[in-house]
Amino acid sequence: MRKNTLVRRIAATAAAVTMLGAAMVAVPTSAQAAVTCSYGNVCFYYYKNLAGAARSYSASDKSMYDERFNRGGTSAAGYGVRVENHSSSVYNRTGQRVLMFKNRGCYENNEYALAIPHGAAGNFADTDYPGYDNNIASVKIGSGRCINR
Ligand SMILES: [Ca+2]
């Protein structure tokens, strides 16, 4: 009985997560990114095409409310702006799958999760899910524990 419940929950979670891999390939390469995204990080950018100020995350974060775009220099567009609800593109260099959520808390069992594989970069506004542009609030890297950092 208990096992069945767990299996059902996992199946429901998988169905709720939207895979964006294919949609996120035709985006700028790392060489074109204004701010380099180092291996081990998932980087969020203020503008699409990996432009503007950036913020790197090397661990899952339950709330992006308390981080600000802090890379690219003070003259970069969006520098100092809160990351939550202000990123327009992303580059996953974590070596793991990254899940992104419209809400804080990394709740995988809602309909607002996007998954991208390692190496994928993309614009939220250019996907089939434009509701994600300026609307990412938490991030989960691999199976990392999602706590606020
Ligand atoms: Ca945080």
Identify the band that residue 112 occupies on the pLDDT scale cut at 50, 70 and 90: low
Model confidence pLDDT, tens digit, residues 59-104: 999 999 999 999 999 999 999 999 999 999 999 999 999 999 999 9
Q: Which domains does the chain have, with CATH numbers?
A: 2-141 (2.60.20.10)
Q: How far is ligand 1, taken at its centre, from the CA of residue 65, in Å? A: 6
CA distance readout (Å), 140 to 2, 20, 30, 34, 52: 26, 15, 21, 24, 23
Identify the band that residue 139 occupies on the pLDDT scale cut at 50, 70 and 90: very high
Q: How far is ligand 1, taken at its centre, from the CA of residue 124, in Å? A: 20
Average pLDDT over residues 44-73: 96
d(CA 68, CA 44): 10
d(CA 55, CA 53): 7
Q: How far is ligand 1, taken at its centre, from the CA of residue 63, in Å? A: 4
CB neighbours of residue 131 within 10 Å: 12
